Amino acid sequence: MNQNFNTAHGILALCALILSTLSVLNGFVVQNAKKLSTSVNTIIFIKITHYLTGIATLFCAAASLCYGFDKRSFRVWIGNDAAIHALMAITWVFTISVSLNFWITSMSRLQHLL
């Protein structure tokens, strides 16, 4: 275990795995929240934590992927630094575009609550 999780790539991947598991468990709670609680505030809080763990998972996974692209073995395999930078850029463009959708939707829902 010490060998696998002593780099930023490994640590971020582990964080993404843990956050992903939390997000899935939170998703089950959100799905059954109306049965578990009658309080609207509790349901909203559960949904917000589900959304935030999901977006944190996305960013941890993207960062881990980019650190993986930067590994020597991957650099040797791909053989072209420009391609690695392009892969990193594509990863972050995708991640940011997905997160923008999250933030726009969240702000829209928040405005409806207020």
Task: Look at residue 19 and tell me if it is in a domain.
Answer: yes
Number of domains in the chain: 1
Helices (H), the chain: 8-31, 33-36, 40-69, 72-78, 81-113
Structural domain that includes position 14: 8-113
Q: What is the pLDDT of residue 55?
A: 94
Task: Look at residue 1 and tell me if it is in a domain.
Answer: no
Both tokens assigned to 46:
């559960």
Task: Look at residue 46 and tell me if it is in a domain.
Answer: yes
Which tens digits make up the pLDDT trace of 39-96? 777 777 888 888 899 999 999 999 999 999 988 888 889 888 899 999 999 999 999 9
Q: What is the pLDDT of residue 114?
A: 67
Asked whether the whole model's pTM tops 0.75, one would answer: yes
